[in-house]
Structure 1
Amino acid sequence: MIGTEINEFGLVAEQEELMVVHVDLPQGKKVRPHDHVGQDVFFSVVKGEVITTLDSNETHKLTPGTLLRFPGEAMIGIEALVDSEFYVYLINRRN
């Protein structure tokens, strides 16, 4: 088989240049502000609606169909407005 279907949650892929995390976040739950220094981050909502806050002052209300890209040096906090599911793609920068 050529393709691999991945539907579990948590760290679902880890390679030298890329990590992929699949997150299930119930309504009202939050992910505390954190960073991903040295990585470019791509954040994609699959289901639901979340508010992301970058560096405590820039907010993005994300729904399926929108991709948020930001440098990993920014602090990101996340709150699920409804039961939500999203993928985070972390790409290691080459030095």
Structure 2
Amino acid sequence: MPQDRYMNSRDAMRRLGENLRSRRIILGLSQELVAERADLSRPTLMRMETGEGGKIEHLMTVASVLGVAEDLISALDPLNTDLGRARAHLLSRQRAPRRN
């Protein structure tokens, strides 16, 4: 597959961070409050909001505080797509098929 079909991970992290920040602002929550509720340091939240890092567990905790954890999980659910539903039978396999 051509590499240009995939979003650059830095761009993806930056966009995700911008969305986290925008969601927080729209909800009227300060960085301090979200960091406290997510049991994170404010610098960690700041890095996440600028797309400069963070762990997946931090992302899920912040998403939970912002009320979008289920949306994030649902967005990655393959059965929420036509292709995923068409290929659902593959989910029972233990290993991916070998390519020749």
Q: Going by fraction, where is strand more abundant, 1 or 2?
A: 1
Give TM-score, length-normalised by structure 1: 0.23
Larger C-alpha radius of gyration, 1 or 2?
Answer: 2
Give TM-score, length-normalised by structure 2: 0.22
Q: Going by fraction, where is helix more abundant, 1 or 2?
A: 2
